[in-house]
Amino acid sequence: MRDNSFKAAIGRGEQQIGLWLSTGEAAVADIVGRTGFDWLVIDGEHGPNDLRSIMRQLQVLDGLPVEPVVRPPVGAKWMIKQLLDIGARTLLIPMVNTLEEAAECVRSVRYPPNGDRGMGAVVARASRYGTISDYVAKAGEEICLLVQVETREALANLDAIARTDGIDGVFIGPADLSADFGQPLHSDAVLSAIDQAIDTIVAAGKPAGILTFDEVLNRRFMARGACFVAVGADVTVLSTTLATLSDRYKTGEAAPRPVVSY
Catalytic residues: 46
Collapsing DSSP to helix, strand or coil, 102 comes out as helix
Q: What is the DSSP letter of 126?
A: G
Please tell me the distance from the alpha carbon of residue 153 to that of residue 176, in angstroms, as a whole number. 12
Measure the CA–CA gap between 29 and 18, rounded to whole angstroms.
13
- C-alpha–C-alpha distance, residues 11 and 75, integer Å: 23
Which three-class secondary structure string do you get for 60-76?
HHCCCCCEEEEECCCCC
Q: How many CA atoms lie within 13 A of 96 on its CB side?
A: 32
Is 45 within 8 Å of 72 (Cβ atoms)?
yes
Rounded to whole angstroms, how far apart are CA atoms 176 and 103? 22
Question: 169-172 and 208-211: which strand pairing?
Answer: parallel
CA atoms of 69 and 32, how far apart (whole Å): 14
Q: Are 126 and 133 in contact (CB under 8 A)?
A: no
What type of residue is 231? V
The number of C-alpha atoms within 13 Å of 257 and in the hemisphere containing its C-beta is 17
Q: Which residues pair with 39 in a beta bridge?
A: 18, 67
